[in-house]
């Protein structure tokens, strides 16, 4: 199949409603994960640009065209953005695929979810108008009180490369719905579609400074944003190591943060499942979707011993049908890892597992037919013990490690044997057992008889070292408010 020709737009930083060249005029090359070639470049912001963006955001909050808007007025902007996303869906999906290696059909799904998220938060923005000033009855005639909900202020949003525009939207849409002014700093590994969001905001007439977009390196652009005294909050999705740095820097200013960090999520499969192939399919999707580059990936398969042999045989049969190719080919099922650094990291994890005594049941190498690009075969690792690095640490690649269990108690112990607590899944037809696991799993997200379905209406976030706070749902928009009480005599 012919691969469509896609032009990479050349953009500057999006600040105060217009495109601005970085103060230091630096730019970063965009390297295609599928070909390892330079296909474009993005602007590289530094501390000076952060200062300009923060001032633009503060001015937006002080102006009536943004700072004094109602929820209904902000909803119109959000719906206009959603409409533009759908209008440009095909182009944006191709750009996303080119940039981070995501398959074209997954990128198209993401664009639908982006538009749906903006629509959802438009609805919530409208609903805020009736909640902005809430009377509180103190049962004292001498006092009348109310709770006033106001935007938190300028919020810094730092987002990852695995779902570039979607993860940005999870933070941008509720911030704008609440009336905050936002500064988005996407990952330097995948920023193209986030910059295009700036162009969409310009086209729909979003007031200047309401959303600013700074691309660049973490130490040069992200760190100054976190430590800026006039940024009122930071919301971050990314690695645990970076999360620790952000918490440390924000603590110096007693600045609130929300963190959605890594995961090492389990999928527990019992022998009472009705459809073995469906369980196999969900297991594969839960670990290998987006080439395994998913924070909630159920990358630890915990199998009941009685079905382990047959289940693994079927897994191997299904894996043979996973087409690995250029992600822009419509029938591609597994694209490349995002960068050379991440590619080497994944291969190192696999090599270390083998050195520690695990068995590479399949995969673990570059596909022979892909001579260029950061491709890794779908990999299944068995003979794993709980002291191995592959069991403990997040790989962020298409790597599934397997252990077996006999009893329900053993399964729970294995599932919770991790420092992370983002997500977990159970496959069983026993409803009461699933409910028991709901209480037993030490995670923020739990799936029954599936893995990875995500809905804008539901809260998303973890426990333990997977972070705190929630994206999505009404819980997300609530964190964008400063709540004040005003007693009156």
Q: Which residues are catalytically annotated?
A: 260
110 touches 216 (CB < 8 A): no
- Backbone φ and ψ for 340, nearest 5 degrees, come out as -65, -40
Beta-ladder partners of 468: 259
- The β-bridge partners of 15 are 18
Residue whose structure tokens are 């080439």: 291
The answer to whether the CB of 81 falls within 8 A of the CB of 88 is: no
What is the per-residue DSSP string for 81-142? Answer: HHHHHHHTHHHHHHHHHHHH---HHHHHHHHHHHHHHHHHHHHHHHHHTTTSEEEE--S-TT
User: Dihedrals φ, ψ of 488, to 5°?
Assistant: -135, 140
- Residue 476, H or E segment: helix 473-478
Alpha helices in 305-458 (DSSP H): 308-319, 340-355, 389-392, 408-415, 431-440
Of residues 297, 410, 397, the one with CA closest to residue 353: 397
What residues pair up with 399 in beta bridges, in sequence order?
A: 379
Q: Using alpha carbons only, what angle is made at residue 457 by residues 453 and 461, rounded to the nearest 5 degrees?
A: 65
Q: Are 379 and 337 in contact (CB under 8 A)?
A: no
Contact present, 257 and 225 (Cβ < 8 Å): no
> What residues pair up with 236 in beta bridges, in sequence order?
158, 259
For the chain, how many helices (H) and strands (E)?
A: 16, 22
């Amino acid at each position: 199949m012919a691969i469509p020709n896609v032009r990479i737009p050349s953009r500057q930083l999006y600040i105060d409603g217009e495109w601005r060249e970085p103060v230091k005029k630096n730019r970063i090359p965009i390297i295609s994960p599928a070909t390892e070639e330079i296909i474009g470049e993005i602007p590289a912001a530094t501390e000076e640009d952060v200062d300009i963006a923060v001032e633009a955001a503060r001015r937006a909050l002080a102006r009536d065209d943004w700072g004094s808007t109602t929820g209904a007025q902000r909803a119109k902007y959000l719906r206009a953005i959603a409409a533009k996303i759908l209008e440009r869906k095909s182009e944006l999906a191709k750009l996303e695929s080119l940039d981070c290696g995501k398959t074209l059909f997954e990128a198209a799904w993401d664009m639908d979810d982006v538009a749906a998220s903006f629509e959802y938060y438009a609805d919530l923005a409208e609903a805020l108008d009736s909640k902005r000033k809430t009377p509180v009855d103190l049962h004292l005639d001498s006092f009348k009180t109310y709770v006033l909900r106001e935007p938190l202020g300028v919020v810094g949003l730092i987002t990852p490369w695995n779902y570039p525009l979607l993860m940005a939207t999870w933070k941008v849409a509720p911030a704008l719905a609440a009336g905050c002014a936002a500064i988005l700093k996407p990952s330097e590994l995948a920023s193209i579609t986030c910059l295009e969001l700036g162009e969409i905001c310009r086209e729909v007439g979003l007031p200047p400074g309401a959303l600013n977009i700074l691309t660049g390196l973490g130490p040069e652009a992200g760190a100054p944003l976190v430590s800026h005294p006039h940024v009122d909050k930071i919301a971050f999705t990314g690695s645990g190591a970076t999360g620790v740095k952000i918490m440390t820097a924000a603590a110096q200013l007693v600045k609130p943060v929300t963190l959605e960090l890594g995961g090492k999520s389990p999928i527990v499969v019992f022998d009472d499942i009705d459809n073995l192939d469906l369980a196999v399919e969900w297991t594969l999707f839960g670990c290998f979707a987006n080439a395994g580059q998913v924070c909630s990936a159920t990358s630890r398969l915990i199998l009941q011993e009685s079905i382990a042999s047959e289940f693994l045989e079927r897994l191997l049969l299904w894996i043979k049908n996973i087409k690995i190719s250029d992600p822009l080919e419509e029938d591609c099922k597994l694209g490349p890892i995002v960068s050379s650094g991440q590619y080497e990291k994944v291969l190192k994890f696999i090599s270390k597992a083998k050195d520690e005594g695990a068995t590479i049941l399949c995969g673990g190498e570059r596909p022979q037919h892909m001579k260029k690009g950061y491709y890794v075969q779908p990999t299944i690792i068995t003979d794993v013990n709980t002291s191995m690095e592959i069991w403990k640490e997040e790989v962020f690649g298409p790597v599934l490690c397997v252990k077996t269990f006999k009893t329900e108690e053993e399964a729970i112990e294995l599932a919770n044997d991790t420092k992370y607590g983002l997500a977990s899944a159970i496959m069983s037809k026993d409803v009461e057992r699933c409910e028991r696991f709901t209480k037993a799993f030490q995670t923020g997200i739990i799936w029954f008889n599936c893995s990875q379905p995500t809905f804008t209406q539901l809260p998303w976030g973890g426990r333990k070292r997977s972070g705190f706070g929630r994206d999505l749902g009404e819980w997300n928009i609530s964190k964008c408010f400063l709540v004040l009480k005003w007693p009156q005599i």
